[in-house]
Structures are given as C-alpha cells and as structure tokens.
Structure 1
Amino acid sequence: MNKPLISVIIPNYCHSKYLAQRIESVLNQTYKNFEVIILDDCSPDDGASRSVIEKYRNNPYVSHIVYNEVNSGNTFMQWDKGIQMAKGELCWIAESDDYCELNMLEELVEAYMMQSNTVIAYSTVMFVNDKGEYLSEKRSFPNQYFTSEEYIKRYLLFSNSIKNASCCIFSRQAALNVREDYKNYPSAGDYFFWVYIAEQGNIAVVNRQLSYFRRHDNVVTDKYAADGTNFVVEKNVVDYICNSFHIDKFHKRLSEAYHHRGLRNFKYFDQGTRLKLFDLWNVKPKESFFMRVLLKLSDVLRYRLNYYI
C-alpha cells in the first residue's frame, strides 16, 4: 500500500489540560509517515500550553512549533496556516482537546487509497465529556465509498456530516484549491470547507468510532447556534450546493423539511432571532403532513440504509 506523508496540524487555544493526550495519540500512531505542526493561537493561560508543547520541541516527528503573538480570533485562520506550512500529500487537523485510537491513521489511509481521486477519508466519532466518558454507544459498520455528487446530495445537503476535523484526513492540494471565504464564518466555516473539498473528488467513510470528540459545557458552536449564526451559515451552504450541483426537486424538498424541523425545535436566545431565521428559511409555523412524511423517508433513505453516518 502506498504510504503518503501526512501533515498533522494541531491548532491549540487554551487546551493545556488535554494537549499532552492529544499529542501522544498522534505520535503513537501505528502509521508512521507523518509530520506534526503545532500551532498555538496566543493562549492566555500563563504559559500552561507552552510548557506542554515545549516538551515535544525535539521530537523527530515535530517539524514546526509556532506561537502567535496576537490571537487570530478564528480557528480557520490557524487551519489555513497549517495547510500552507504542510509538506504532506494529506493533512489531518487534530483538534487539541480531542484524541483518537492509535490505528486511526492506518485505517483512514487504507480507506483513502481504495478508490482513485479520493479527497476525504473520515471515521465516525465517539462523543466524550470533559472526563473522557462516552456519551454514546460504540458501534461499527462496513466502510462506505461515495462519489463527490453522491455524498454531497445524500449528506452535506442536509447537515455537516463530518462531525469535526479530528476524525478526517484530506488532500492538501484540494484544500489549497478551496475558496477562502470559509474563513469568514468563525462558528461554522468547516461546513463550507468540507463542501469545497468534497466537490473535488470521492469520499471514504470508515464506520468505526476511531476519534474521540470532546464536548464541553461552554462549546463556542452552541453559542453561535443559539444566536442563530450557525443557521445563517447553513442556509448559505445549502444555497451554494443547490446552485452548484444538479439537485432534483425531491432532494431539495427533503433537505428543506430536514432543516425546517431543526429550526422549529431549536431553543433560541430570543423570539426575535427565531422569527428572523424562520423568515430567512421560509419556515411555516406548523409542519405539514407532507413534510412529516418526507422526514420519515429521510430517516430511512439517509440512515437506516446507509449505516451510521
């Protein structure tokens, strides 16, 4: 099997508590052809992050350590910095508060190489709390392989199905080709990022929970969801997909039903935010019988027949 060089980008901000576990889960991978780029975004933690990072200064896998003198205010600026510095054919953005199984890279690379013109391979994730305790059950299914259009129409049209960057390897060249406007969305720019990469090639899914995604009580994305920011980004992404691909009327209505239900059920900061988003998405106050039927079909077509993604 071809063993491409992987550039592992670890963007850190105030995660000194988890940082050693993150770095160790990278350095001890069974797949050995990688470099590590550690980026600290001016963490205001009295040097706690720096003290962890400096322990790895002379590790042979660590190619770069960069400390920002001023906080960028945007994690996607750090993503871009790491991708620009990377030397590998593939990149892995290993978020600093997550960790993974030690065979994750090996399994992802094997899946990535199974079909030509692959641009993304990712595993499913296990959500864990601050203590590392599982928040869902362990599940495993056969791997899946999709063309660009299949994956976008079946999954990205409905939601950001790549749960977080830590579970994913992707083509560096494809990442260099993406439109830079994803960095304009600090809360959900990854949704645009994955769409921009997915439209360039095939996608492989390893249906085993090889990455552990840590959920905190004060997660920034929860704030952006509550004030409506994420739903505005979602609308922009869905519009982009519908304008860039041939999406049939059935899938458009199915996507509409899916997003409208999410908008109805969400708890917002205030009623004004709710009404503005309903107007943006053209959501009716009550869900029609037809929409309920569509959502039942969505459940069957998108999940029960397609494993656990």
Structure 2
Amino acid sequence: MSSNQPLVTVLMAAYNTERYIAQAIQSILNQTYSNFELLIVDDCSSDNTVNEIMKFDDSRIKLLQNQINQGVVITRNRALQEATGDFIAIMDSDDIAIPDRLQLLIDEFIKRPELALIGGHADVIDPQGIPTGQKFKVETDPDLLRHLLFFGNNFTHSSVMIRMDIFREFNGYRIPLAEDYDLFLRISTKYPVANLDKCLLLYRDHTSGISKKYAVELENQILPIKENILSSLNLPSDIKHQKMITPPFDWSGISIDEYKRFYIQLLNRINPTNQSLSFKTYQFIFQKWYEVIMNNCGKKALFYFFSKPFFGWKYITAKQFRRALKKSVKNLLS
C-alpha cells in the first residue's frame, strides 16, 4: 500500500438516516486514529440523508450512491470493490463510535497479527441519544467465543474491524437480516477472531428496529446459516442437526446418542488440533451437554452426566450433579 492510501476503510451503509447520520460521521472524523477513509454508501435514500452527508467538508469522506434501492447486503458489498484500506471497520449510520475505537482495534491487530476479525462491547442509547443503562457485552475469551458462535452471534456488528483481504476472501455479506452473523461465523471457522474487553461504540436502539420488526424473518435466516456452516465442515446438515445448535432448542424426536455423536463431531471440527482450551470453554461445553441430558434423559441422566469428552470434575457444579441424580432417581421410581 502506498503512503498516501489509508490503512483503514470505515464502511457506513446509509438509508433514510437523516436524523442520526451526522453524529455517526462526526464520531468517525473525531477519531484519535486518522489514517482512514470513510466510505459512505447511500442506498437511494428518500429523505435528506445525502444532504446531511454533503454538509461535511473532509477529504477522507467518499460518498457513493446506489441508483436504486439495493438492500443492505449489496450496499455493504460495494466495499469489496471500492475500499482501499487494509482493514475494514463497520459503522452503522445511526451509532456513535467512541473516540479511540479505531486506534484500539489497530493496536490489537498489530499485537495479534493472526486475528482476522475483532469487535468489542457497546453501550446502548435510545433514539434521542440518552444512555439506557443497557450494555451489549460480548465474549472476550477467544476459545469460548469460537464455540459460542455456532449457537448464535457474539459480536456487536458496528464495532468490528476485519482484515480486508479476508473480507474479500469470503466475498463479503450474503444473507439479509443475519448477514453479519453469517459472515462472522464463516470467518471464525477458518481464522482466529476476538473481542476486546472494551466499549467501542454507543449503539442506538430503536423500538421499531429491524431485529424487532422482522423477528420472524430473521429467525428464518438462521437455519440456512447453520445448514451452510455444517455442510462446509462436512457435518450432518439436515434440519434436525441445524436445530441442535439453534436456540430455542427442540429436544423432541432426537435420541441422546444422536446428540452425543453430533456434539463430539462438532467439537472436533471447532478444535481439530485438540488443543487445550480455557476453563470457561470446558464449562460451556459441559453446560451444553448438561442441557441435552436434562431435557432428553430419564433414569439414565446420571449415567450420561459422566460422558466423555464433555464431563470433567473441574467443570461441573454441585447443583448440576444433584439435579442429574434427582432426575435419575425420580424416573427409576416412577
């Protein structure tokens, strides 16, 4: 990269956000780290969004406009061709980045060059910008994060930064509504990912936001994501196995031994080198197995409680043991 090119491309997709986009843009221009371009892609807004963008006179801003409304996936994927940075930082047009967000992420990439993707926590604000007291806390243990992602998203989308070559390798976003989770999960199966234990932005919560208004549509996108990722890992990918890793879990119609075989296969794909994992990760692995046996076993609950590779004396609690014992005894006597 030549010296006059930015190291970071901040990508902001915009559609009818005239009320908030100026704050979002200003929070990027105010960053303590300055070697960036701000690539704003307007998806044919029908309000004054573009006028708000044009009020800024800063050479780091690059505005692109879709001729027709394309949706968020195509809009964000314009970065595949237009971005010039080595890193791409996602920024939603109604959120507010903290002043050292970019610096913190770049510093972490320099410290840990093996990472492909880094995110962080967020504090929630309401539509007026008033803090709600709610926080989006993401997992910062890298081992546990890798496992958690198979069950659901654990990144705050508008906080993440991705190596641009990896963003292009995975061809950007694919699935509307759950496009972020789909991309992050795919990346995590091939490269190390992480979250900083720091708040990186103020996330604006709208009571009529996409995740609430289109909750059913969003749910319908999750199973295809699970199907794709299981298939890519050469694991059973039928609807039954998709639901084994998709909350809320459906415990009916699947035997305990089917669960066991599948979870062992899944763990072997997540950790193919069988490296030693963090204590929290082993606890999580057992907790998932514990949920399976407590919802799928009767008198053999205690027998399956001790199943390898899930069980370990260090990773269980006395309460879990008592409940499994109680369930076994209760079903023996019934």
Per the TM superposition, whether the score is higher than 0.5 is: yes
What whole-Å deviation, never above 9, does each CA across 1:185-226 have from its counterpart, x for those lacking one?
A: 32212211112222342212111222111111211222321x
Distance 1:18 1:80 in 2: 22
- One-letter identity of the residue aligned with 2:86: E
Tell me the residue number matched to 1:37.
39
Tell me the residue number matched to 1:76.
73
Higher relative contact order (CA 8 A, sep 6+): 1
Answering whether residue 87 of structure 2 is matched by residue 117 of structure 1, we say no
**Residues 176 and 140 of structure 1, relative CA distance in 2, 3 Å threshold:** closer
Q: Is the contact between residue 122 and residue 136 of structure 2 (CA under 8 Å) also seen in structure 1?
A: no
Provide TM-score, normalisation by structure 1.
0.72
Deviation of residue 172 (structure 1)?
0.9
Secondary structure of the 1:118 match is coil
What is the aligned-residue RMSD (CA, Å)?
3.4
- One-letter identity of the residue aligned with 2:150: L
**Residues 131 and 168 of structure 1, relative CA distance in 2, 3 Å threshold:** same
Answering whether residue 63 of structure 2 is matched by residue 59 of structure 1, we say no
How many equivalent residue pairs?
254
**Residues 169 and 186 of structure 1, relative CA distance in 2, 3 Å threshold:** same
Answering whether residue 218 of structure 2 is matched by residue 230 of structure 1, we say yes
Alignment of 1:1-309 (within 5 A): 5-45=7-47, 48-56=48-56, 58-62=57-61, 64-72=62-70, 74-137=71-134, 144=140, 146=142, 151-152=145-146, 154-164=147-157, 166-179=158-171, 182-183=173-174, 185-225=175-215, 227=216, 229-245=217-233, 256=244, 259-261=247-249, 290-291=294-295
Secondary structure of the 2:92 match is coil
What whole-Å deviation, never above 9, does each CA across 1:225-257 have from its counterpart, x for those lacking one?
A: 1x3x22232222223333334889xxx99x837
Distance 2:135 2:185 in 1: 27
Deviation of residue 120 (structure 1)?
0.4
Distance 2:68 2:234 in 1: 43
**Residues 4 and 65 of structure 1, relative CA distance in 2, 3 Å threshold:** closer
Q: Is the contact between residue 124 and residue 134 of structure 2 (CA under 8 Å) also seen in structure 1?
A: no
Distance 2:45 2:167 in 1: 26
Q: Is the contact between residue 140 and residue 208 of structure 1 (CA under 8 Å) also seen in structure 2?
A: no
Q: Is the contact between residue 91 and residue 170 of structure 1 (CA under 8 Å) also seen in structure 2?
A: yes
Larger Rg: 2
Q: Is the contact between residue 145 and residue 203 of structure 1 (CA under 8 Å) also seen in structure 2?
A: no
Distance 1:257 1:60 in 2: 46
Tell me the residue number matched to 2:270.
none
- One-letter identity of the residue aligned with 2:205: R
Q: Is the contact between residue 179 and residue 196 of structure 1 (CA under 8 Å) also seen in structure 2?
A: no
Q: Is the contact between residue 13 and residue 42 of structure 2 (CA under 8 Å) also seen in structure 1?
A: yes
Distance 1:208 1:233 in 2: 30
Secondary structure of the 1:170 match is strand
Distance 2:171 2:27 in 1: 31
Identity of aligned residues (%): 23
- One-letter identity of the residue aligned with 2:107: E
- One-letter identity of the residue aligned with 1:220: I
Structure 1 residues not aligned, in runs of 5+: 265-286, 302-309
**Residues 258 and 178 of structure 1, relative CA distance in 2, 3 Å threshold:** closer
Q: Is the contact between residue 186 and residue 229 of structure 2 (CA under 8 Å) also seen in structure 1?
A: no
Distance 1:70 1:139 in 2: 34
Structure 2 residues not aligned, in runs of 5+: 252-290, 306-310, 316-334
- One-letter identity of the residue aligned with 1:75: V
**Residues 113 and 172 of structure 1, relative CA distance in 2, 3 Å threshold:** same
Distance 2:17 2:86 in 1: 28
